[in-house]
Structure 1
């Protein structure tokens, strides 16, 4: 399946780009060649929601434009309301002014087989990708643009849009793919060519690892920021498993429930102490993890963001560092680890904390600051909940917003 790439002059490294911290950083000129409109939010359909790479912001694609929101404190920081059409994918690059846009909805702004790389500071498209089939997802790093089709993934260099890698996958209608976001690791995870298999590419090491994660088809995957840990769920939706991406070893297994469920999202906390999962059962489950990233200080997220080098690690060294010497705060667990000892199989553990939601829509979840979880719903709902890191149990709702009806800023 071929692709066509067109580039305009003036491509800049994304590290030099401005910020989306406030609406003042966006120019007053209107892109896309059409005037901004005042729309009744009751008539606006939400087509997509997606986090940025550090989960501090999220983008909402709508039937008549897109909007950018800050999570803490919650506020709408920017919007484009357009007469032309909708956006099925709006992918941010941290908080900079680069966006990857794909049309969506009944009246798409762009054809769904095209990816537009938009620089809103220059108010123009700086790159365009066209494919023979619809785009299922787009993922961005500061050095890579990744386009996911149903059976293939293309990896491009950000600066010149040259094709670097092509990856064949099993049928992937959800566009499952995730990236690491540390400067010293370049990791991609996606479905493999067999049922239940995850393919992990360590581009910096030129290593490909295939992990047989589940018996059923893969339904959801996520990586830690440095790509050392992978969490997976299958279409059965009962178990979530955590793997070491260096050698594929299973490190832990947690149980969402006994009945089949459609897993919508999996989130790992920055200190890799907690895992949260959302599903069609309407409950967000949170689990205590016994794994940690090598060299990471759980109390210092900024230090963790630097990440350890992977080039000189071997499997035994990395495994030793990935296993916590105790069970953390999960008082319901009777298992414990001695440092350097890795059992071949862990009995699955039940959730440590929960938050119940209306079973009316799809939700995605992420971790916020100070023992909080943030939940976004495809009905336009924003929840902030807190959890007790010692006792667990039911989470407390701290904030609720209907973000499509939020005031303009």
Structure 2
């Protein structure tokens, strides 16, 4: 069952029933997308949702979906038939063939589409690299290194003009990358010798990073490019970023008091 809560009315306003377990949900102003183990259901977002599409997918136990937040674009991304592959479809043009992107060699762990609908960010279960692709042609635009050790990626988000990307993982560190034409990201001092060294030494690293106490968290940008971090314990942090990448905590709030130490992972 999927329930939609209206916080102004202080009540449930939509209820959608399914015959099998729901693994993921994405919302925007005009659409509700629900993932089951190997199907996606697309509905209108109104008091009486209408079913628009039913899409057969590969096994998707983690409910990975990315829906463009811009109502003028209808790009939807989900795992492809092969591990590490992404399938992109245009919900507004069902006759258009899907775009298949071989994003990673191992299974996907996170997907995100920017507000303009022209970029897709991906991470695999390995969690060391973030890749960004053009959604129309499937061409790789950027490859960004989060770290060298395996990590579980919890969230990836673009800022409003798609010049920055933030990433959270189970390491408890938030990485911020500059993906503008004048990127401030860091590279190894040995990058000039990249043709003679392993690929790791030519990696593009985040220009800013900071840690929060609870590693199970998600992150996103505010309208003024501060970074918000919401942890599973109900903690909400707001950080501003200086041009040199130094992060400063601007505010902190606590919304929950969790007694269960075995609370589910985000």
Task: Tell me the TM-score normalised to structure 2 length.
Answer: 0.83
Aligned equivalents of 1:268 and 1:121: distance in 2?
28
Aligned equivalents of 1:158 and 1:385: distance in 2?
33
1:5-404 paired onto structure 2 within 5 Å: 114-118=1-5, 127-159=14-46, 161-206=49-94, 207=96, 208-290=98-180, 324=181, 327-330=182-185, 332=187, 347-358=202-213, 360-389=214-243, 391-392=244-245, 394-404=246-256
Question: How many aligned positions are there?
Answer: 243
Aligned in 2, Cα 1:330/1:117: closer, same or farther, shift over 3 Å? closer
Say whether the 8 Å CA contact 2:160–2:223 is kept in structure 1.
no
Aligned equivalents of 1:367 and 1:140: distance in 2?
18
**Which secondary structure state, in structure 2, belongs to the residue aligned with residue 171 of structure 1?**
coil
Q: Unpaired runs of 5+ in structure 1?
A: 1-113, 291-323, 336-346
Residue 357 of structure 1 deviates from its aligned partner by 2.2
Aligned equivalents of 1:272 and 1:124: distance in 2?
35
Q: Unpaired runs of 5+ in structure 2?
A: 192-201, 258-266
Residue 385 of structure 1 deviates from its aligned partner by 1.0
**Which secondary structure state, in structure 2, belongs to the residue aligned with residue 248 of structure 1?**
coil
RCO greater where, 1 or 2, for CA within 8 Å and sep 6 or more? 1
Say whether the 8 Å CA contact 1:371–1:388 is kept in structure 2.
no
Say whether the 8 Å CA contact 1:361–1:379 is kept in structure 2.
no
Cα deviations by residue, 1:42-69 (Å, 9 ceiling, x for unpaired): xxxxxxxxxxxxxxxxxxxxxxxxxxxx
Aligned equivalents of 2:87 and 2:206: distance in 1?
27
Aligned equivalents of 1:330 and 1:351: distance in 2?
5
Say whether the 8 Å CA contact 1:186–1:202 is kept in structure 2.
yes
Q: Highest CA radius of gyration, 1 or 2?
A: 1
Task: Tell me the TM-score normalised to structure 1 length.
Answer: 0.55
Aligned equivalents of 2:220 and 2:229: distance in 1?
7
Structure (1/2) with the larger strand percentage: 2
Aligned in 2, Cα 1:211/1:126: closer, same or farther, shift over 3 Å? same
Residue 124 of structure 1 deviates from its aligned partner by 6.3
Aligned equivalents of 2:144 and 2:79: distance in 1?
21
